[in-house]
């Protein structure tokens, strides 16, 4: 199964979207900051490293809140550029663009995308809470350590990520505002996480 290349189409021969394959690819795609954070957190969970789990949890929560709020409140349609990483094979074929836009802008697809984002982004923070990793979090990690980990991950991600990965959330017109909102939200969530 080719998850990340552009050889497997997301549109079935009957013209429907392959939601199962789309979901699997979305959950495992290393292009997304949330998935990188999830992969790292799972690694630290396996090794029972409470310090790093608690350092990363505010980042997971921030990503979840930011993307979920955007999708639930503001996502009404997709343009072709915002579908570049959602449907890579179809995007590369300009003859598919009209079909792609028609399928992606249906109420079913918009609803799927809007309402799965909270599930995709919050399953791990809920699991971390359920497993008890958030108990006595201040004994394992501090706000400062969490901010340092955040800055390192964001810095590395900014250097290697494609500029247009999050085109459906941020575009060149709103980029500065959105980055400011994201960082502000992360600061608030981190303080609430450690001092609540």
Average pLDDT, the chain: 87
As to burial, measured by CB atoms within 10 angstroms (0-12 exposed, 13-18 middle, 19+ buried), residue 161 is middle
- Is residue 1 scored above 50 in pLDDT? no
pLDDT per residue over 37-80, tens digit each? 999 999 999 999 999 999 999 999 999 999 999 889 888 888 88
Mean pLDDT of 169-193: 86
E strands, 34-132, are: none
Q: With 50 as the cut, is the pLDDT of residue 3 above it? A: no
pLDDT tens-digit profile of 93-116?
Answer: 898 899 889 989 999 999 999 999
pLDDT for res 165: 67
For residue 140, the model assigns a pLDDT of: 84
Cβ neighbours for 178, distance < 8 A, ≥ 6 positions apart:
169, 170
Whether the per-residue pLDDT at 15 is higher than 90: the answer is no
Residue 14 has pLDDT above 80, yes or no: yes
Distance of alpha carbon 172 from the chain centroid: 19
Region 119-125: mean pLDDT is: 93
pTM higher than the cut 0.85: yes
Gyration radius of the chain over CA positions: 18
Q: What are phi and psi of 11, to 5 degrees?
A: -105, 120
């Amino acid at each position: 199964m080719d998850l990340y290349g552009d050889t497997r189409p997301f549109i079935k021969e009957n013209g429907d979207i392959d939601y199962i394959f789309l979901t699997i690819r979305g959950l495992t795609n290393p292009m997304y900051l949330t998935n990188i954070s999830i992969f790292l957190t799972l690694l630290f969970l396996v090794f029972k490293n409470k310090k790093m789990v608690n350092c990363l949890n505010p980042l997971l929560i921030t990503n979840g809140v930011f993307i979920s709020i955007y999708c639930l409140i503001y996502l009404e349609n997709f343009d072709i550029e915002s579908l570049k990483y959602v449907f890579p094979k179809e995007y590369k074929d300009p003859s598919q663009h009209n079909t792609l836009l028609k399928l992606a802008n249906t109420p079913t697809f918009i609803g799927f995308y809007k309402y799965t984002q909270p599930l995709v982004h919050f399953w791990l923070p809920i699991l971390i809470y359920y497993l008890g990793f958030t108990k006595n979090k201040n004994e394992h990690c501090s706000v400062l350590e969490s901010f340092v980990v955040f800055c390192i991950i964001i810095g590395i991600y900014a250097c290697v990520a494609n500029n247009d990965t999050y085109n459906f959330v941020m575009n060149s017109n709103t980029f500065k505002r959105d980055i400011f909102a994201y960082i502000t939200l992360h600061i608030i969530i981190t303080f609430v996480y450690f001092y609540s």
